[in-house]
Amino acid sequence: MTFCTDILIIGGGAIGLATAVDLALRGATVTVLSRNFSQAALHAAAGMLAPQAEQLVSPLLDLGLRSRDLYPHWTAQLTALTGLDCGYWPCGILAPVETANPVTDYTAQRIGESQWLDQAEIQAHQPGLGAQVRGGWWYPLDGQVDNQSLAIVLKTAAERLGIHLLEGESVHSFHYQGDRISQLTTTAGTWQAQTYILATGAWSAELLPVPIVPCKGQMLAVQGPTEAPLPLNQVIFGQQTYLVPRRSGKVVIGATSEYVGLRAGNTPAGMQALLARAISLYPPLQDWPIVDFWWGFRPATPDGLPILGTSNYKNLILATGHYRNGILLAPVTAQLIADLVVQQRVDPLLIPFHWQRFAT
Ligand code: GLY
């Protein structure tokens, strides 16, 4: 059977859904194909919005800052569409340093608003940090979104906008005619669209020759006190581990970075490493109950930058490879890709992320 749509997005993660919503708001007819919505990195992330704490550098920093700036309006718009809260919380991120070198760390060049805190100041800013913390950076404009809530809100928004969401359909192959994609075959049949958008994250190389490999991240969550004032009111971004406190008192602890292909599951070694580092960073959490643990796959590219924009095929757009920053970059990716599809407008921000940087 052959199905037709204007725009076919392959991938139902943060990037695919955000782009679908943006396009539908501009009047396009959109279908999203997903093998399994719950497998997307969106569900596995912690939801940090951390262009500064992650120490991104340009051009990724420029993209990240633009996207962080879009977050208040983007999440408010999603809430207006759905009546649901995304858990956006511009709570700031504190980045403790354990081996502070007062010369290099204090004078490190920082872009945007940030503040160096010495040992006494950082302990006052966040009581309970490990005694080995020697200082750190405070990034008041970084923050977080509750990625689990965002996943529900994006899917609900897509449904409300009449986007066709098809789950359980795996893509077999693209078919080409000259410089265009003519159709796509899936487990359910054949799809024909005017425009195809590839947003398949860690699975992208299964469909096209893009240099993307999965980078596994294991995570867990503990339940801290629920009464105000919460002991953690800001993200703590340690040198190898981060703690992302939710308003419910739950604290997400992340994440390992493992190049083990798509090998599923939490491992004793992964959990042990995460717990040891989290306890060292913030000892009070050692007594809090573990309430969940999970894993996911980041789509990693050789240079850590996403692959965005046009492709060798006139009707195929690439929006994949967001590595550690898919949730942060969802609103800006959606906006720039929708501009490209609807207005054929190439924003200068897109140019450094074109796939051709890998063509040798
Ligand atoms: N953005 C944090 C991570 O990927 O672990």
- How far is it, in rounded angstroms, from Cα 180 to Cα 194? 10
- How far is it, in rounded angstroms, from Cα 265 to Cα 249? 25
- What pLDDT was estimated at residue 99? 79
**Sequence-distant (≥ 6) Cβ neighbours of residue 248 within 8 angstroms:** 226
Among candidate residues 320, 297, 144, 312, the one with its CA nearest the CA of residue 234: 144
Name all residues whose Cβ lies below 6 A of ligand 1.
48, 217, 254-255, 298, 324
Tell me the per-residue pLDDT of 52-99, one tens digit each, with 9 for 90 and over: 999 999 999 999 999 999 999 999 999 999 999 999 999 999 999 987
Q: What residues pair up with 253 in beta bridges, in sequence order? A: 220, 243
Please, which pLDDT band fits residue 50 given cuts at 50, 70 and 90? very high
**Sequence-distant (≥ 6) Cβ neighbours of residue 76 within 8 angstroms:** none
**Sequence-distant (≥ 6) Cβ neighbours of residue 168 within 8 angstroms:** 35, 36, 187
Bond into 221 cis (ω within 30)? no
Closest residue by Cα to atom 1, ligand 1, is 324
Helices (H) and strands (E) in the chain, counts: 8, 18
Percent of the chain with pLDDT over 70: 96
- How far is it, in rounded angstroms, from Cα 352 to Cα 125? 38
Pocket test for ligand 1, best of 298, 328, 329 (most atoms within 8 A of CB): 298
Over residues 184-207, the mean pLDDT reads 94
Tokens representing residue 328 in the block? 């942060």
- How far is it, in rounded angstroms, from Cα 296 to Cα 265? 9
Tell me the per-residue pLDDT of 291-345, one tens digit each, with 9 for 90 and over: 999 999 999 999 999 999 999 999 999 999 999 999 999 999 999 999 999 999 9
Task: For residue 256, report the distance from its CA to the centre of ligand 1, in Å.
Answer: 9
Task: Kindly provide the b/e burial profile for residues 250-287, where b requires at least 16 CB atoms within 10 angstroms of the residue's own CB.
Answer: bbbbbbbebeeeeeeeeeeebbeebbebbbbbbeebee
Bond into 299 cis (ω within 30)? no
* Other Cβ atoms within 10 Å of 312 Cβ, number: 12
CB 297 within 8 A of CB 41: yes
Closest ligand 1 atom, CA of 50? 1
